[in-house]
Amino acid sequence: MTPEQALLETEAPVEMITVVIDGFEVTVPKGTLVIRAAEKLGIQIPRFCDHPLLEPVGACRQCLVDIEINGRAFPKPQASCTIPVENNMIVKTQLTSPVAEKAQAGIMEFLLINHPLDCPVCDKGGECPLQNQAMSTGRPESRYEGVKRTFEKPIAISSQVLLDRERCVLCARCTRFSEQIAGDPFITLNDRGALQQVGIYENDPFESYYSGNTVQICPVGALTGTSYRFRARPFDLVSIDSACEHCASGCAMRTDIRRGKTLRRLAGDDSSVNEEWNCDKGRWAFKYLTSRERVTTPMIRGADGELHEASWPEAIAFAAVGLKGKRAGVLVGGRATVEDAYGYSKFARVALGTNDIDFRARPHSDEETSFLSGIALGLTTSYKDIDKADQVVLLGFEPEEESPIVFLRIYKQVRKRALAVLSDAPFASRGSVKLSAKLVTEISEISGLTSKSVILVGERLSEKTGALSSAVALAEKSGAKLAWIPRRAGERGAIASGAISTLLPGGRPVSDASARVDVAAAWSVDSLPSNPGRTTSEILLALSVKNLDAVVIGGVDPLDISNSALSQLLNSFVLSLEITHSAITAVADVVLPVAAVVEKSGSFQDWQGSSRVFEKAIADSLSRSDVRILSMLADEMGTPINLPTVAATAREISALGKWDGSAVKFESARSVKDLATGDKLNLTSWRLLLDLGTLQDGEANLAGTARTASAHISNSRAEKLGVKAGELISISTDFGSLELPVEISEMSDNEIWVPRNSIGSQVIAHLGFVSGQVSVAKA
Amino acid sequence: MDLKTALTPVLSANWDEKDSFTIEGYKRNGGYKAVAKALAMAPDEVIQMIKDSGLRGRGGAGFPTGSKWGFIPQGDNKEHYLVVNADESEPGTCKDTPLLLANPHVLIEGIIIGSYAIRANHAFIYLRGEIVHVYRRVQQAIEDAYKEGLLGKNIGGKGFDLELTLHAGAGAYICGEETALLDSLEGFRGQPRLRPPFPAIAGLYAKPTVVNNVESIASVPAIINNGVEWFQAMGTEKSKGFTLYSLSGHVNNPGQFEAPLGITLRELLELAGGVRTGHKLKFWTPGGSSTPMFTDEHLDIPLDYEGVSAACSMLGTKALQIFDETTCVVRAALRWSEFYKHESCGKCTPCREGTWWLVQMLRDLEDGKGTEADLTKLLDLCDNIAGRSFCALADGAVAPIMSSLKYFRDEYLAHQRNGGCPFDPIASTIFKTVGA
């Protein structure tokens, strides 16, 4: 057993060490660095290269202090960011040691001689550790009379990150982050001496999904984000804690607003979730809310077939007429907050009197419905379990693409203790390579799991019949912890809010009479519909065959569901609650504008089931949250749902609480092996993190770092087709076809993989499905 | 000539033979006998013998070689490595290059013995890349040793396996720092590593590693052959044995002088035919440019680790650069500073930025610009660099400046009074010129 494993087995008590810093005693766990122990006392030692989540490097030498152990003093001042505390250690910082004070002042002076001191035009000015510490530790007047080092500025190390080399203090935070945290060592320090500089490989730009973190942790203005450069001064910004709407990782965020406009978003601190990091999508994809396509006023489709601007009362009245007394369903996409999803759920049951509600704007199955109703809400697996796992199994789940912070967490353990990772992906993606993941073709091949293993199931697993059942069986048999990680931020909260046909809020089964009574009482209604509701595809089918008359849609892209979804809506009354104009608003009878995340308060439940509550960042926004609009509409229909504000909704959710009765029983499904026949290949796909997703609209710099689409096939398949890497192949079905350049991967000869929603590769639009059999030929 | 200390040629004993660098030449003079003797001993006995001999590292720091070997954890089921630091790049230092050129096999023999002692089955020589002629010669010697079964599997039929790899550096002075050397050897940019962990615990490829200087390892076979008493009979109380002193600069017969530790410069100058005829000693470095300079006051300091330390310098690599009175000390300090600025790896602030600044200040001082206050500033900058950097490179960079200011402050001032350098730079060249 390695020491790491031993540590996992028993939570050994941590040895505590007491040191004296500037005359004050402080007791900290063994292994704590001196600089960190000083922080506990409120003693701030200046620093640049030090970062609590990166390995110490001791490069900048700014944090020099005098140290004495057992009465023996170090002959020279020591870098407090590299030395762990020891018993009988006496530390004297700049506050009590003239030697340390002079050493620090000397380093600060050196750091500034080659720095351009261009704070008035630098984005970092006002929030710059160099600026601040030059004030605390530097000289008022420079003694340097020589020539400063200069560089061409700025150079774009990717489309979204710019580098001003002359501002750089060479602390190596960015390069260490890229290597140690993201596993993307695409930036390095080049050259030597004062000409040392951050650089990229000649032909490979800094295309990491996590590159924005380097901008955030740069202690000077050397790395700046292209989209934010020269846009604002930090002291003009109002910073609001916020949550990320892009995926189910659950990141804490900070949104910086100036005069009602989002200028930038940064990773917030939450050690139990995203630590201090986020992905580039979370950081930079917020321009959609100021896009030209933004729905700004309510709109009603007129007799001329065009949408016309309308007042709120007019539009609400029109919508109420269209829905009242009609057979209507509700489709709510994954962007909804817990409160909004609750609003849709209650609106469906109370105002529309139906259980026809589903949050799944994607391919889904009855097996999945059963899994989500019976199992998903009971799962308690968390990031902590990944930290302690002896094995992680990824099923239908590409963490780097589909939940990037989950990826960082797994990668941390892979790097630290070579955590074993298994994946059922058809080939080793870049993320899998970084995780050294072992690929398995069938879930039944997996063995050796223990109660410390973690099985992470992605939403895509439902696309393979029986696979979810196998995953559940595997977890039951081995005792391993199971987690369901959807891609979108609102999905777990939507289940908890009852935005699914089988469940009422709090996980109460629709099929359980006492659960219905429970909720009906809380909602002050006589009864709730008990007949089984329809799923997304069933609602669409019912609409197309006139079994339903109307539908309320919030945040759904029809091409995420199926190629026929849009046409199935054409003959029904469609109420669309949308942020930006879309394929749905183009056919909707009424369009009501709703608030984007930064314009409203609310909460998201991440994949762990933890809630992140956020306040409205743009305080004076007039945009309304979905739930408020639904409440107005329900009033107009004469069937009030009494959810006038997000806060009121949150109170009601909390008062209602969780279901303590028995859950819906999971009906497992038999797995079906669909083997490719003849010359056909099995196509699989998943979404890349940066793709054509609508929430990434309007941010060209971010899009510039998206991976280009290519089709992965095996080497021998490529030989059979007579194509080489980079050459085009055409992939076709009865529905349509697409052409992509080939990338050779180690995979089965019968498999082909393409990105699901990237430029040139939108599989539902081009091929008619997300997975299945395709014909492949040289183009 | 009546010398208190006589030369003790051991490593250099046969350099004048025309085939001294061949395996035949080496064997004819008793080469590779120590391997057989060492392989007959237990590895720990070899370590103990080197410990007992008092052999100290000849690369500059003077750390006891046997103790370094003893730090390698045994029975840890890990590969161990012996790495020989042949990245000799210090201005003035020129002992390993001629040694490897004239007698590469003594190093190979030492490597076999050292590897056996620390239970390493793979050893590396990290050679300065610019000395291609030495690279070829060492490579040939390694090939010959393989052919004779002295390297490879089952050496001497004793069941000991050793692979030896010669690696050429890419020309960075910092790679002479042992952890930067290891990074470079692993294929990374050579920059010093954070310690701990020390190389003895996690060195090359994070495995226990000994890094020794060429001369230290090359001294091992003689100790094995002749015994601890023989070795201890040479040298001083705490600095035992023989070593190579390299005299260069304004001296009539520059070159390598192998003598017991503790010999003085006065004695060495006599052996080397004295300071350039017609001139007198002005200043000298005891161990390369990064050791604080001495003047003619220091001619009788015993050149061993303690003697030089006591006079506020370091024995270093025993590279004695001799400068006579024609040399401008400001110019010398500037040239050395330019070297350190060029070679600073850039990792830490004081070295990277400090050397950049020092060079500009010294250039101004050489040009006669500035005031006396600038000398105070210069010393203050040196004080802010020395002992503040990540590795010892920056300490070396300020040594010539601080020591020259200590002994020749007035010469700095003379530049300012004179509005430029008062020296004729041509006069200090070793070629015959009008001014010389």
How far the first Cα of chain B sits from its last, in Å, is 28
**C-alpha distances in angstroms, A368 versus A402, A459, A478, A669, B235?**
18, 9, 21, 10, 84
Where are the alpha helices (H) located in A277-354, listed in sequence order? Answer: 280-284, 312-323, 338-346
- Mutant choice from A74, A110, A145 vs B, greatest count of B C-beta within 10 A: A110
Rounded to two decimals, the pTM is 0.95
Residue contact B347–A62, C-beta within 8 A: no
The rounded distance, in Å, linking the Cα atoms of B110 and B218 is 5
Torsion of CA B224, B227, B232, B238, to 10 degrees: 50
Residue contact B357–A147, C-beta within 8 A: no
Give A425: exposed, middle or buried? Use CB within 10 Å, 0-12, 13-18, 19+: buried
Judged by a CB distance cut-off of 8 A, whether residue B207 touches chain A is no
Mean pLDDT rounded to a whole number for chain A: 95
User: What is the average per-residue pLDDT within B186-215?
Assistant: 96
Q: What single DSSP character describes residue B425?
A: G
Residue contact A193–B357, C-beta within 8 A: no
- Of A75, A143, A195, Cβ closest to residue B377: A143
Q: How confident is the model at residue A672 (pLDDT cuts 50, 70, 90)?
A: confident
Q: Write out pLDDT tens, residues A379-414.
A: 999 999 999 999 999 999 999 999 999 999 999 999
Judged by a CB distance cut-off of 8 A, whether residue A113 touches chain B is yes
- Of A59, A82, A110, Cβ closest to residue B353: A110
Residue contact B357–A144, C-beta within 8 A: yes
The predicted pLDDT at position B431 comes to: 65
Judged by a CB distance cut-off of 8 A, whether residue B360 touches chain A is yes
Residue contact B345–A143, C-beta within 8 A: no
State yes or no: pLDDT of B436 exceeds 50: no
Contact B350, A107 (CB under 8 A): yes
DSSP letters along B115-179, please?
Answer: HHHHT-SEEEEEE-TT-HHHHHHHHHHHHHHHHTTSSEEEETTTTEEEEEEEEE--S-GGGGSHH
**C-alpha distances in angstroms, A428 versus A394, A714, B10?**
12, 12, 60
- Mutant choice from B183, B339, B356, B380 vs A, greatest count of A C-beta within 10 A: B356
Whether the upstream peptide bond of residue A593 has omega within 30° of 0, thus cis, is no
Q: How confident is the model at residue B3 (pLDDT cuts 50, 70, 90)?
A: low
Question: Chain B contacts of A105, Cβ < 8 Å?
Answer: 384
In which residue are the tokens 């510490």 written? Answer: A133
- Mutant choice from B183, B348, B363, B374 vs A, greatest count of A C-beta within 10 A: B348
- Of A61, A77, A189, Cβ closest to residue B349: A61
Question: Chain A contacts of B361, Cβ < 8 Å?
Answer: 146
Q: Write out pLDDT tens, residues B15-70.
A: 999 999 999 999 999 999 999 999 999 999 999 999 999 999 999 889 999 999 99
Q: How confident is the model at residue A6 (pLDDT cuts 50, 70, 90)?
A: very low
Cα of B341 to nearest chain A Cα, Å? 7
Question: Chain A contacts of B174, Cβ < 8 Å?
Answer: 192
In which residue are the tokens 């909260």 written? Answer: A493
Both tokens assigned to B259? 């003598």
Both tokens assigned to A253? 């965020």
Both tokens assigned to B422? 């008062």
Contact A760, A697 (CB under 8 A): no
Nearest-by-CA chain B residue for A55: B194
Contact A212, A182 (CB under 8 A): no
The rounded distance, in Å, linking the Cα atoms of A265 and A245 is 12
The rounded distance, in Å, linking the Cα atoms of A497 and A501 is 11
Containing H/E element for B434? Answer: none
Task: Give SS3 for B404.
Answer: helix
Both tokens assigned to A412? 């941390």
Question: Chain B contacts of A195, Cβ < 8 Å?
Answer: 346
pLDDT > 90: what percent of chain B?
94
The rounded distance, in Å, linking the Cα atoms of B292 and B287 is 9
Question: Chain B contacts of A60, Cβ < 8 Å?
Answer: 348-349
Contact A584, A592 (CB under 8 A): no
C-alpha A679 chain-centroid distance: 38
Residue contact B343–A109, C-beta within 8 A: no
Residue contact A109–B194, C-beta within 8 A: no
Q: What single DSSP character describes residue A669?
A: -
Both tokens assigned to A763? 């599989």
CA count, 13 A, side-chain hemisphere, B60: 27
The predicted pLDDT at position A671 comes to: 83
How far the first Cα of chain A sits from its last, in Å, is 54
> In sequence order, what are the residues at sequence separation of 6 or more whose Cβ sits closer than 8 angstroms to the Cβ of residue A649?
A339, A342, A343, A627, A643
Q: Write out pLDDT tens, residues A463-519.
A: 999 999 999 999 999 999 999 999 999 999 999 999 999 999 999 999 999 999 999
Q: What angle do CA B291, B293, B295 make, to 5 degrees?
A: 150
User: What is the average per-residue pLDDT within B355-361?
Assistant: 98
User: What is the average per-residue pLDDT within A2-28?
Assistant: 77
The rounded distance, in Å, linking the Cα atoms of A51 and A606 is 27
Closest Cα partner for A500 from A329, A641, A628? Answer: A329
User: What is the average per-residue pLDDT within B297-313?
Assistant: 97
Closest Cα partner for A106 from B87, B354, B267? Answer: B354
- Of B344, B360, B361, Cβ closest to residue A193: B344
Both tokens assigned to A23? 């005359």
Nearest-by-CA chain B residue for A65: B388
Residue ranges of A 188-217 with Cβ closer than 8 A to chain B: 188-189, 191-196
**C-alpha distances in angstroms, A203 versus A157, A207, A441, A530, A720?**
11, 11, 35, 61, 31
Cα of B94 to nearest chain A Cα, Å? 25
The predicted pLDDT at position B365 comes to: 97
Q: What single DSSP character describes residue A664?
A: P
Contact A534, A501 (CB under 8 A): yes
User: What is the average per-residue pLDDT within B72-81?
Assistant: 96
- Of B194, B346, B356, Cβ closest to residue A57: B194
The predicted pLDDT at position A352 comes to: 97
Residue ranges of A 312-351 with Cβ closer than 8 A to chain B: none
Interstrand relation of A508-509 and A503-504 (parallel, antiparallel or unpaired): antiparallel
The rounded distance, in Å, linking the Cα atoms of A454 and A391 is 6
Judged by a CB distance cut-off of 8 A, whether residue B376 touches chain A is no
Contact A343, A627 (CB under 8 A): yes
Contact A760, A709 (CB under 8 A): yes
In which residue are the tokens 């025309």 written? Answer: B18
Residue contact B174–A191, C-beta within 8 A: no
Nearest-by-CA chain B residue for A49: B348
CA count, 13 A, side-chain hemisphere, B406: 15
What's the maximum distance between 2 C-alpha atoms anywhere in chain B? 73
Residue contact B357–A110, C-beta within 8 A: yes
Judged by a CB distance cut-off of 8 A, whether residue A170 touches chain B is yes
ipTM of the complex: 0.95
- Of A57, A61, A75, Cβ closest to residue B350: A61
**C-alpha distances in angstroms, A466 versus A79, A377, A399?**
57, 20, 22
What's the maximum distance between 2 C-alpha atoms anywhere in chain A? 91
The rounded distance, in Å, linking the Cα atoms of A265 and A597 is 12
Q: Is A183 left (phi over 0), alpha (psi -120 to 50) or beta?
A: left
**Residue A620 identity:** D
Whether the upstream peptide bond of residue A154 has omega within 30° of 0, thus cis, is yes
- Bridge partner residues of A439 (DSSP): A423
State yes or no: pLDDT of A5 exceeds 80: no
Question: Chain A contacts of B195, Cβ < 8 Å?
Answer: none
The rounded distance, in Å, linking the Cα atoms of A244 and A253 is 6
The rounded distance, in Å, linking the Cα atoms of A104 and B158 is 57
SS (H, E, C) A49-100: CCCCCCCCCCCCCCCEEEEEECCEECCCCEECCCCECCCCEEEECCCCCHHH
Question: Chain A contacts of B388, Cβ < 8 Å?
Answer: 61, 64, 76-77, 103, 106-107
Q: Write out pLDDT tens, residues A171-186.
A: 999 999 999 999 999 9
C-alpha A239 chain-centroid distance: 20
In which residue are the tokens 């759920």 written? Answer: A345
State yes or no: pLDDT of A677 exceeds 70: no
Residue contact B350–A110, C-beta within 8 A: yes
- Of A61, A149, A194, Cβ closest to residue B388: A61
Q: Write out pLDDT tens, residues A334-354.
A: 889 999 999 999 999 999 999
Question: Chain B contacts of A57, Cβ < 8 Å?
Answer: 194
- Bridge partner residues of B284 (DSSP): B294, B322
Q: What single DSSP character describes residue B310?
A: H
Question: Chain A contacts of B348, Cβ < 8 Å?
Answer: 58-61
The predicted pLDDT at position A418 comes to: 97
The rounded distance, in Å, linking the Cα atoms of B72 and B211 is 11
- Of B194, B352, B387, Cβ closest to residue A193: B352
> In sequence order, what are the residues at sequence separation of 6 or more whose Cβ sits closer than 8 angstroms to the Cβ of residue A105?
A137, A138, A139, B384
Whether the upstream peptide bond of residue A509 has omega within 30° of 0, thus cis, is no
The predicted pLDDT at position A370 comes to: 97
